[in-house]
Structure 1
Amino acid sequence: MFSQQKISDAENILFEKINNDELIYLKIAIDFYSRINKLSDAELWYRGQKGG
């Protein structure tokens, strides 16, 4: 699903795009962080160790 590197890459893209005045990027960011927030610290750590 998510790896630490992919989460970081996706977050960087969001920050680049969210400066755009299009509301769709804000909706995407809300969905992205909602999904990440559902992962436990242990899951995030594990995914970071395994690379995905």
Structure 2
Amino acid sequence: DGQERRNEDAPENNPQYTTVYVGNLAPEVTSVDLHRLFHALGVGVIEDVRIK
């Protein structure tokens, strides 16, 4: 039919594929540090950073 269809199961629409765990960070690492690092890698927009 020539129409582009959206795939609701595509990785970019599925939180399972859009969440990254980064462990063993030094205590002084901040969310700004992580934003800068991932931006430098060209991974796209980071919506949320949680440091525990």
Which structure has more relative contact order (CA 8 Å, sep 6+)? It is: 1
TM-score higher than 0.5 here? no
Q: Which has the larger radius of gyration?
A: 2
TM-score, normalised to structure 1, is 0.27
Structure richer in helix, relative to its length: 1
TM-score, normalised to structure 2, is 0.27
